[in-house]
């Protein structure tokens, strides 16, 4: 019997060869009795965005508190080997965070700061375009999602992401979760994962874990709402974004 994962692999490589997907879709539906979603399009609507106030992150604990909240809630495996590590949110220095877009006249103090990094939830997300099985797709509110069950582990999305925000599970992730959160699904060996702006919390009317844990250092809201808090802070402060010259339209802003 053909499995859903096997079907997705066949469909993906058939499309790459120009063979089309109708035959494989029909075969899978006949064999499994399940209906396959043939196309997922990015829908236009309001856009969630995040502003990280880098001036307010003073200590390493300020960063760690935010990272722990995210990783613990989402069952992110703790793998020490940097070749296999999985991270949804992490830190880096100015040079690596804003590589290629560094402002020549930004102060030395800003350049010596650490910066929180995560998926930029790009409006024009290259990872969505390159995924051959639509495992990566856009929600109506702009969040870039990852369907772990559709993912075939081809890593095209990792190659397409210019921010290094995607991680492949080279090792069985469940073996590296110290304290399991039963309310959030774990992943499996051979799939890619990333931050999703805590869509599961947004759908319940709650702020993302990182925003809540930051205690005011991260602002989250609807970029398309002129009366939202995030629009207010963006209009009143100097902000920069990562690699805007690529045309990805990242939805994570850094207040400097």
Q: How far is CA 100 from CA 92, 94, 104, 248, in A?
A: 15, 11, 11, 15
44-80 per-position pLDDT tens digit: 338 999 999 999 999 999 999 999 999 999 999 999 9
Instruction: Evaluate if pTM is beyond 0.75.
Output: yes
User: Residue 75 maps to which CATH number?
Assistant: 3.30.70.20
Domain count, the chain: 2
* CB-based contact 118:88 (threshold 8 Å): yes
Write the DSSP symbol of residue 183: T
35-46 per-position pLDDT tens digit: 334 333 322 338
Average the pLDDT over 25-41 and give the result: 37
Q: How far is CA 127 from CA 8, 138, 163, 167, 250, in A?
A: 17, 10, 11, 12, 13
Rounded distance, CA 47 to CA 189, Å?
Answer: 32
- Whether 145 is covered by a domain: the verdict is no
**Which range marks the domain in which residue 18 is found?**
1-38
224 C-beta neighbours (distance < 10 Å), count: 15
Q: Which residue has the tokens 């002129």?
A: 226
Q: Assess whether 162 and 55 both reside in one domain.
A: yes
Q: Assess whether 82 and 1 both reside in one domain.
A: no
- Whether 144 is covered by a domain: the verdict is no
Q: Assess whether 9 and 59 both reside in one domain.
A: no
């Amino acid at each position: 019997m053909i499995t859903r994962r096997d079907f997705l692999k066949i469909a993906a490589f058939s499309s790459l060869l120009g063979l089309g997907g109708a035959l494989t879709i029909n075969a899978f539906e006949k064999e499994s009795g399940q209906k396959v979603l043939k196309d997922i399009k990015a829908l236009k609507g309001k856009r969630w965005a995040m502003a990280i106030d880098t001036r307010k992150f003073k200590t390493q604990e300020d960063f760690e508190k935010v990272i722990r909240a995210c990783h613990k809630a989402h069952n992110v495996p703790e793998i020490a080997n940097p070749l296999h590590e999985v991270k949804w949110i992490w830190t880096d220095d100015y040079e690596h965070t804003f590589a290629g877009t560094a402002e020549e006249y930004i102060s030395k103090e800003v350049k010596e700061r650490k910066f929180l990094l995560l998926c930029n939830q790009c409006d024009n997300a290259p990872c969505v375009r390159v995924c051959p099985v639509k495992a990566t797709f856009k929600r109506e509110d702009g969040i870039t999602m990852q369907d772990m069950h559709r993912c075939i582990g081809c890593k095209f999305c990792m190659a397409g992401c210019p921010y290094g925000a995607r991680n492949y599970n080279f090792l069985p992730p469940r073996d590296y979760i110290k304290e399991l959160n039963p309310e959030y699904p774990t992943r499996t060996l051979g799939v890619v994962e990333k931050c999703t702006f805590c869509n599961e919390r947004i759908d319940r009317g709650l702020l993302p874990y990182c925003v809540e844990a930051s205690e005011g250092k991260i602002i989250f809201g609807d970029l398309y709402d002129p009366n939202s808090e995030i629009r207010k802070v963006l209009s009143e402060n100097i902000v920069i974004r990562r690699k805007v010259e690529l045309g990805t339209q990242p939805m994570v802003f850094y207040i400097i």
